[in-house]
Structure formats: structure tokens, C-alpha cells
Amino acid sequence: MPGKLKVKIVAGRHLPVMDRASDLTDAFVEVKFGNTTFKTDVYLKSLNPQWNSEWFKFEVDDEDLQDEPLQITVLDHDTYSANDAIGKVYIDIDPLLYSEAATVISGWFPIYDTIHGIRGEINVVVKVDLFNDLNRFRQSSCGVKFFCTTSIPKCYRAVIIHGFVEELVVNEDPEYQWIDRIRTPRASNEARQRLISLMSGELQRKIGLKVLEMRGNAVVGYLQCFDLEGESGLVVRAIGTACTLDKLSSPAAFLPACNSPSKEMKEIPFNEDPNPNTHSSGPSTPLKNQTYSFSPSKSYSRQSSSSDTDLSLTPKTGMGSGSAGKEGGPFKALLRQQTQSALEQREFPFFTLTAFPPGFLVHVGGVVSARSVKLLDRIHNPAFVGIMGNTRSYKLLDWNSFNSDEPETRDAWWAEIRQEIKSHAKALGCHAVVGYSESTSICEEVCILSASGTAAVLNPRFLQDGTVEGCLEQRLEENLPAGCGFCHIPYDELNMPFPAHLTYCNNCRKQKVPDVLFTTIDLPVDATVIGKGCLIQARLCRLKKKAQAEANATAISNLLPFMEYEVHTQLMNKLKLKAMNALFGLRIQITVGENMLMGLASATGVYLAALPTPGGIQIAGKTPNDGSYEQHISHMQKKINDTIAKNKELYEINPPEISEEIIGSPIPEPRQRSRLLRSQSESSDEVTELDLSHGKKDAFVLEIDDTDAMEDVHSLLTDVPPPSGFYSCNTEIMPGINNWTSEIQMFTSVRVIRLSSLNLTNQALNKNFNDLCENLLKSLYFKLRSMIPCCLCHVNFTVSLPEDELIQVTVTAVAITFDKNQALQTTKTHAEKLLQRASTDNEELLQFPLELCSDSLPSHPFPPAKAVTVEKASPMGEGNFRNRSAPPCANSTVGVVKMTPLSFIPGAKITKYLGIINMFFIRETTSLREEGGVSGFLHAFIAEVFAMVRAHVAALGGNAVVSYIMKQCVFMENPNKNQAQCLINVSGDAVVFVRESELEVVSTPQPAASCQPSCTGGEVTT
């Protein structure tokens, strides 16, 4: 009996009128947890009942505490007939189960009904008394913290980053059970909501167990998804990164806190000698010998990869003068060897993080992705038959345990894809995948599973124990040049996995870098960027014949490689057009529909100073004899050149001129080259590899040989830049902007278009889709014009194809205002930029960029005192004073809750994480017209979802949700029947934040304390 849950129902307000005769309601409340139910008294004739109930006490296992939601039902008492339900509130009590989070849940919750929406509010108080349980075989994992944030949460420090955790559970979808034919839509919806709530609780508990097994205490970058497979069932799956986190209670306690937990971690299974000496030395001569001895290990890793035979491994001979490349080699190899030993312990060396502690990320290889087309079969689970009709028919069944002997399980499918990703990463000379994510697209019985990430070489010290104490010093001795290290190639230039064009790093001039870099992660904090970034999207549609089962899957598998190729080409073209050379946060989504496939890739383009200047785009015609045609071509060429020039100006890309003598080798013509390794496989496991390098062309040339190509070039030029004062990106931080004010506006926008004609061509389809996205962006810019100068951050597009001729695009993003005047002054020096960008992070992160600065730029020594003044004078402080949003009014009882998809709140400091918010709602209507049509229906529903998220956060004592994401928005309509249904799944981290201006007033010694570590840093370097 390890837990006692206590619930008190205080009052209700704004209840709907349930009795037409009196225009009043006789309300009472049922409180249910597990199989126990309590009831309050009936409060007669009131729309604002005051129940003030006793404490309802549930004595339960902590396993149930983790799985089950608290279910509160408000009903209208009826003497003669059945009591009418007004609505429900589901409360996830997980945040109460670990000590550092919330201690009580108390507040007004919207009473939600799946048919009527929000109907009044109820005030509830929930507490949990948890008894210590020393049972070693326990099934619960209370105490493991979960974070949606894909970086180390701001008030924590990563002691060890253990690695990948995943789990999935499967169940029958109540919507497709036989009982659904006889029950009301409300009952069906509620069954589904409850089931998913249970399933996610169970999933979280199981992941927690895995984390405890790894001796971690938290999951960061937790991403949970639902696959609504229809007839074949409901899959809830989650991935995350297990970590051992250490709370930074205050900056002063930083160093002592560093020691205590590491002692506990001595038993960690990764016992390889971390060989700490090697960290201190850079590419020195003795190590060179070691390099060669390690090179076999590398080739070994290649051979072990299953798909390497298909990779285009052709090395570009005669490239790179060799000597300098070798210089960088030893260190790389050494690191690789160490990391490898740490990582090979793991089945999948994957990390769902997109931003990392300083020094964690050593090299980035490129994007790796894998897709697989599967046919969904009914999940035939014998256990279901037995418990059908039982009151606990939603008791969850673990797919894994039941199907360990079945090869075609969801688990096996994912394992297969992950294996592929792993081998791709190996082919790139990398031993880990960061910024890893998984997704699915389902249409009828066909399912595309996708996984993608960024192959990377990591610093092993975060992955092992025993090196924690010296972390500060070690980082200081790090000899990698600041701001370009991650760009250096991790693979052997003489044996490249694909034809690539390498040059010397523009920053350190010592090591080789590729000409273009694609990644799925956020821009590293210490990266040197020239100018600003921008959102780059590739959009593509492909018609597909309608087919059934096997034939359909084959058709899709055949189309996928072409789509990937074209998406990639589009991205590359648009990147060149923007005069940029790297993509961050790349996310390629392939959506399958009845008669088409859609591809949408979003990324943030930047100009990395370390990478070579991108060349222009040249157009070549195929019919040279036609005079007018030639003229047309040259006209197009001019237009493209003009666009590039304009973009350079717009994004302030003015790279310093590099004279050729300094480098010692000529800057070769830029070449089209791919950093994307991918494969498509269908059920038969057939693997196809693509060479995306456009053959062996030496110049980046677009050939116009038919009208299709013409269209492509045209579509390149149709992308309109955002109006002045607007920037957009899909990463956390906009490269080149760092002076955010505190004004933020998170929003969700949904658009559905109906394609007009039935005999559509690919071109028309592409144009429609392109227009849809462009118009949506234009609308956003217009709507948010009052926030100028502003940047749309974390722009997240999702495409779905709900019906034959419908395309749905959902966008969630946050608009943040920045201070324009300061933006103009901040581009002076690299060091200054670093400082300012670092100031957006918490103190912990602040230290390291500072050190790196003093390391790499000895000509700009920054005494710690100056660092403090910079922080004090950081524009965000001023932004607070300019904050136009009025403070909560005295007569308003509703506190403001901010929501943002970012992991931070500009101009504020997150002081506490209260727990994960993971909510699933269904809304249905049978009076679509009366509710304002589809737009009115969905608008109201999304507003209600926001309201419920805010209410839960407020009840936990929080004032913001960070890393907010709308993972699913499934909308179905039947206008003829006047019906519509929508499912929404959202998640995020509930937090408490304090404005920086308030912080300064409250605790003046804080900046001084925070500077302490950097003081020591300064001493070591000098």
C-alpha cells in the first residue's frame, strides 16, 4: 500500500443549465480512481455549487498511481431518470509522484464533454502521500522525471547521459470494438480518452523502469506518439534519452553538487577506462601513431553495417592535399575509439536531444534517415477475447510480452529501422545519432514508419562515470577550435561514404569540412554564424494510383526514393538561393494518402562561417539553337542571380573575403553533394540506397530539359521572403538574433483545402500545395504584424491527408519580438555574439562559451567582470521594461499561463519543472453547422485544448508550458451528416518561471555567484 491519494471537491462555477424548467442545475460529482468511486452530495439548484467535500482517500499501489488518471465526473441529479453527465476532468497525478515537482494540484479545471466542449469549471484539490517502498522487484518507477524538452532542462546539470530508451504498448481501439455499435458517441469517446490516458501512464512507467535499470533518474526529450491504426488497433510508443540529472539549486551550490551524485553512480555498467589523459592532448605527434592503429577498427565498423554494400562509397580521389587532413585525423580517431567503447554497450546509441551541454558534440556527420512501408494486420491478441466486456477491458497488454515469438510486431519493425539508422551512422564514421526522432503516416492499412537523426561523434565523458569531477578542467583543456569543431568531418576523407567535396575549415584552417551540412539538431550555441538564418521548406506531391494492400505498399515503396530525391534537390536549391551552406532542425515528413504522397521538409538555413561560400546556381538549356529559348534561359539566370544577391542582403550574409594564398589551395567550384543517407524498405526488407549526388557533375547546374524542370525553377522563385521585420526558423533560437524581448505569442493555425478537379497532375498538385503553405505563412505574417520586429521560432508544419481530395496543414510556432536597435549593434565580433547568445541560457551554460571565447580568441580577453556586465546589460532585461502586456489585473482571478514550443522563455529564468503535461482530447459534434461549420468547430476545440493545458499548469502551481508540442490533430468531417470529429494530442513541460528583472531585484548577489565558475576558468587559461 505505498500511496494514499486524497481528493477534495471544492466548488463549481458557470455550470450549464441542465433543468430547463428552473434554469438551474442540481450538480454532484463522482471521483473515480481505479475501481474506487466516491460521490459528493447533490448541491441543489445552482450554477455555482459549493460542495466543499470531505477528503476522498484512495489507498493504491504506486503502479496504479502512475498508470491511472484521476477521473472526475460532474453530473446533474435527476430524481426520475438517469443522471445526466455534464462533463469530466482527467487529472494526471504523475507530477505529484516525485519530490522536486508539484506538491499539490489545486485549481479550477474546465469541465470537458466530448460532445459539448467545456461546460463550466470545477475547483479540485489533489494530494498524494507516498510511502517509501524498498521492494526491489517493484513495477513502478515513481521518481523518474520526464521532460519533453530536447535539451538538458535549464535548472539541471547532466551528470551522465545514458542514452536511448523506447517502449510501445498496443491495444484495440475502442472506436473499433463491437460494443461501439451500440454505445453513444460520448461513451465511445470517453472510453478512448481513458484508454489512451491509461496507456500513456503505463508507457511512462515502463520507460521509467528502464531508466532506473540504467541507473538514471530522468528522461529528457521524451516524445510519445499515438498511431491510430484503425481496425488493427492503437499503438502508443515513446522514445527518450535517459539521463542522470542534478538539480542546480543555486549557482553557488554548483561545485559541491557536482560531487555527491557521482559517487552513487560508481556502479554504472559502463566501466571502460575513460583514459582521461587523452582528453588533455590535442592532435600531438605521439597520438598520430595511435591513429593508424585505430583505423582498422573503423573499417571494421563499416563492414558490420548491414546496408553498407549499397552505399556509394566511391572516394573522391585527388581531393585534399592530405597532410592537413591527417593532422586532424588522430584526435578524431581517438575520440571515436573512446566513444565507440562507451556506445557499443548500447543497442542503439541514439539521443533524442537536439541541443547539448558544451563539449558533448564533437563532430557532425550528416542526416541519416530510414523509412519502411508496412502493411497493418489486425493485432490478434488472444488475451482480448477473454476480457472483452469486462469492466476492466482496457487493462493493457504489453505487445512485447505476448508476441515475442512473432516476427511482424511493431517492435520488430522499429528495431529494424533503428538498426538501419545505426548502420548509416557508422557508414558516416559516426557512432551515435543525435536529434533522433521517429514518426509514422498511416492511410488505411498501409503505414510508413520513418526515423531520422544526425550522425555524430560524441565526447565520451558524458556517457561514462568517473570523469564527472574533473569536467570543468577537462573542458578547458579541450583543444578543438570554438565554433567550427562540429563541422569537421568525422569520416575518413580518403574513404568517404559518398562523393563529397571537402575544403579546409574557414575558421581554423586545419581540418576538412564539407561544403554543405544538413542536420536535425539545433544550431550549437558556440557555432559561428554569419548573418541571420531563415526557414527553408521543400514541398512535394506525387500522385499515386489507388490500390489495395500489397500493391499499394509496393507502389508507395517505389515512389519513396523519387520523393526523397526531389525533396533533397529542392532543399539544396533553396539553400543555394539563400546563399547559405547549412541546414539545422531538418525534418522531412512523408505523408501517405489514398491517391497521393506528400513530402514536406522544413529546416533552418544558416551560413556557417566554417563552411565554404556556396556557389550560385547555373541554368543550362537543352536546346541551344533556339534563340528565344536562350534568351529565356538567360533571363531566368539573371533572376536567380538577383534573388541570391537580394537574399544575401536580406539575411546579412557578408562573409569576410578569404584570399586564396592563406588557404594554400584554391577554393574549388562548389558541387552538389548529398549528406543524406537514406533507404526505403518495404515489408520484404529490400533496401535501396540512393546516390543523391547528381552523378559526378562538377558544377551546380540546373538543366532545363522539359517543362517539368521549368516548373521546378519557377517554383524556386515563387517563394516570397517574409515581409521586412519578420524572420522565421524551425529551430529553438534564430541564428543571428539574440536580443529577444519578453513578448511571446504561441499559436496553432490549421488549414484544409479541397482539391478541385479529379484528374489532377503532379504539377497542379505541387502548385496547390505550395500555395497552401505560402499563403498560410503570409497569413501568419499578417496576423502577427503588430509584433514586428519579430521572429517566428520553432515553426512546425504537419501535413495530413484526411480524405481523397483534402490536404490539411497544421502549423504551431511561437512569435517572439526582438529589439531591432540592439540587433544592429551585435554583429561586431564573434566573441560578443557568443556572450550574448549564451546569456539567453542559464548560468550553467553561460560558463562554457565564455571559456571557449577566451580560449579561441586570445586577442579578445574577456575578464569575468565584463562578462557580468554584459549579462546585466543584456537586452532582455530592458525588454522587460518595455513589456507591453499588462500585469494580471487585480480583479481577474485567472493567472496568465504562457505556452511556447521552445525550451526557454525569453527574458525569464525557469526556476522549477513541475512535471510533464501529456493530454489527449476528442471532440465530436453532430451539429456542425450550428457550431459555425468546420472552422468554428475546430477553432473552438483548439481554444479549449489550450485552456485545459493552461488550467492544468496553473493547478500545478506553474505559469508556463515549455517545449509545448501538438503531436496530433486528426480532423474528420462529414458535412452531409452535419458531423465532425477531432482528436488532439498535446504535450509539454509545466514550469515556474521568474522574470529576469524580478530576479535582479530579489537577489542582487546572483550575477556575482554565477560568475564564479568562469572566474576559475579565466585563471586556468592565463
Partner 1 sequence: MTSELDIFVGNTTLIDEDVYRLWLDGYSVSDAVALRVRSGILEQTGATAAVLQSDTMDHYRTFHMLERLLHAPPKLLHQLIFQIPPSRQALLIERYYAFDEAFVREVLGKKLSKGTKKDLDDISTKTGITLKSCRRQFDNFKRVFKVVEEMRGSLVDNIQQHFLLSDRLARDYAAIVFFANNRFETGKKKLQYLSFGDFAFCAELMIQNWTLGAVGEAPTDPDSQVDDMDMDLDKEFLQDLKELKVLVADKDLLDLHKSLVCTALRGKLGVFSEMEANFKNLSRGLVNVAAKLTHNKDVRDLFVDLVEKTPLQTPGPRKWLPRAPTVGVSLKAGREYLPT
Q: Which residues bind partner 1 (CB under 8 A)?
A: 13-14, 108, 110, 118, 121, 723, 745-756, 768, 771-772, 775, 778-783, 785, 806, 808, 885-886, 888-889, 891-894, 896-899, 932, 934-936, 938-940, 942-944, 946-947, 950-951, 971
Identity of the residue, 530 or 984, whose beta carbon is nearer to partner 1 in the bound complex: 984
What is the C-alpha separation between 542 and 592, in angstroms, rounded? 10
Measured CA distances, 847 to 363, 839, 855 (Å): 21, 10, 12
The grid coordinates of residue 733 equal 533560437
Report in angstroms how near the CB of residue 938 gets to partner 1 at its nearest: 6
Which residue carries 515503396 as its cell?
Answer: 557
Report in angstroms how near the CB of residue 444 gets to partner 1 at its nearest: 21
Collapsed DSSP state (helix, strand, coil) of residue 566: helix
What is the C-alpha separation between 949 and 964, in angstroms, rounded? 10
CB within 8 Å of 276: residues ≥ 6 apart? 467, 470, 474
Report in angstroms how near the CB of residue 840 gets to partner 1 at its nearest: 21
Report in angstroms how near the CB of residue 746 gets to partner 1 at its nearest: 4
Identity of the residue, 108 or 222, whose beta carbon is nearer to partner 1 in the bound complex: 108
Report in angstroms how near the CB of residue 982 gets to partner 1 at its nearest: 11
How far, rounded to the nearest angstrom, does the alpha carbon of residue 863 sit from its chain's CA centroid? 36
What is the C-alpha separation between 93 and 874, in angstroms, rounded? 39
What is the C-alpha separation between 917 and 909, in angstroms, rounded? 20
Report in angstroms how near the CB of residue 47 gets to partner 1 at its nearest: 11
Which residue carries 532582455 as its cell?
Answer: 876
Report in angstroms how near the CB of residue 69 gets to partner 1 at its nearest: 20
Identity of the residue, 824 or 896, whose beta carbon is nearer to partner 1 in the bound complex: 896
CB atoms within 10 A of CB 137: 4
To the nearest 10 degrees (0 to 180), the angle between helices 762-783 and 707-718 is: 0
How far, rounded to the nearest angstrom, does the alpha carbon of residue 17 sit from its chain's CA centroid? 43
What is the C-alpha separation between 790 and 143, in angstroms, rounded? 40
> Could you tell me the maximum CA-CA distance found in the chain, to the nearest angstrom?
95
Report in angstroms how near the CB of residue 725 gets to partner 1 at its nearest: 10
Nearest CA-CA partner of 822 in 877, 900, 904: 877
Identity of the residue, 899 or 914, whose beta carbon is nearer to partner 1 in the bound complex: 899
Identity of the residue, 72 or 463, whose beta carbon is nearer to partner 1 in the bound complex: 72
- Contact at 8 Å (CB) between 238 and 225? yes
Nearest CA-CA partner of 1021 in 846, 854, 845: 854
What is the C-alpha separation between 828 and 835, in angstroms, rounded? 12
Report in angstroms how near the CB of residue 393 gets to partner 1 at its nearest: 33
Identity of the residue, 753 or 1008, whose beta carbon is nearer to partner 1 in the bound complex: 753
Tell me how many degrees the CA angle 854-858-859 measures, rounded to the nearest 5: 125
Collapsed DSSP state (helix, strand, coil) of residue 248: coil
| Backbone angles phi and psi of 199, in degrees to 5 | -65, -40
Identity of the residue, 403 or 808, whose beta carbon is nearer to partner 1 in the bound complex: 808
What is the C-alpha separation between 962 and 917, in angstroms, rounded? 10
Report in angstroms how near the CB of residue 894 gets to partner 1 at its nearest: 6
Report in angstroms how near the CB of residue 754 gets to partner 1 at its nearest: 5
Report in angstroms how near the CB of residue 652 gets to partner 1 at its nearest: 21
CB within 8 Å of 800: residues ≥ 6 apart? 441, 591, 808, 810, 969, 970
Where in 688-761 does DSSP place strands (E)?
688-689, 701-704, 726-728, 740-754
Measured CA distances, 618 to 133, 518, 655 (Å): 69, 22, 21
Q: For residue 663, what are the β-bridge partners? A: none
DSSP 569: H
Identity of the residue, 555 or 760, whose beta carbon is nearer to partner 1 in the bound complex: 760
- Contact at 8 Å (CB) between 62 and 139? no
Identity of the residue, 108 or 331, whose beta carbon is nearer to partner 1 in the bound complex: 108
What is the C-alpha separation between 961 and 947, in angstroms, rounded? 12
What is the C-alpha separation between 540 and 588, in angstroms, rounded? 11
- Contact at 8 Å (CB) between 506 and 528? no
Identity of the residue, 432 or 934, whose beta carbon is nearer to partner 1 in the bound complex: 934
Identity of the residue, 873 or 894, whose beta carbon is nearer to partner 1 in the bound complex: 894
Report in angstroms how near the CB of residue 856 gets to partner 1 at its nearest: 40
Nearest CA-CA partner of 162 in 56, 260, 269: 269
What is the C-alpha separation between 196 and 217, in angstroms, rounded? 25
Report in angstroms how near the CB of residue 890 gets to partner 1 at its nearest: 9
Identity of the residue, 49 or 359, whose beta carbon is nearer to partner 1 in the bound complex: 49
Identity of the residue, 290 or 749, whose beta carbon is nearer to partner 1 in the bound complex: 749
Report in angstroms how near the CB of residue 596 gets to partner 1 at its nearest: 14
Bridging pattern class, strands 740-754 and 701-704: unpaired
Identity of the residue, 28 or 937, whose beta carbon is nearer to partner 1 in the bound complex: 937
Report in angstroms how near the CB of residue 15 gets to partner 1 at its nearest: 12
Identity of the residue, 110 or 599, whose beta carbon is nearer to partner 1 in the bound complex: 110
Identity of the residue, 704 or 897, whose beta carbon is nearer to partner 1 in the bound complex: 897
Report in angstroms how near the CB of residue 48 gets to partner 1 at its nearest: 10
Identity of the residue, 245 or 793, whose beta carbon is nearer to partner 1 in the bound complex: 793
Report in angstroms how near the CB of residue 790 gets to partner 1 at its nearest: 13
Give me the helices (H) in 608-728, please: 627-650, 660-663, 707-718
CB within 8 Å of 133: residues ≥ 6 apart? 2, 62, 140
- Contact at 8 Å (CB) between 223 and 437? yes
Output the DSSP codes for 865-924: HHHHHHHHT-HHHHHHHT--SPPPPTT--PPP-EE-SSSS-TTEEEEEEEEEEEEEEEEE
Identity of the residue, 781 or 848, whose beta carbon is nearer to partner 1 in the bound complex: 781
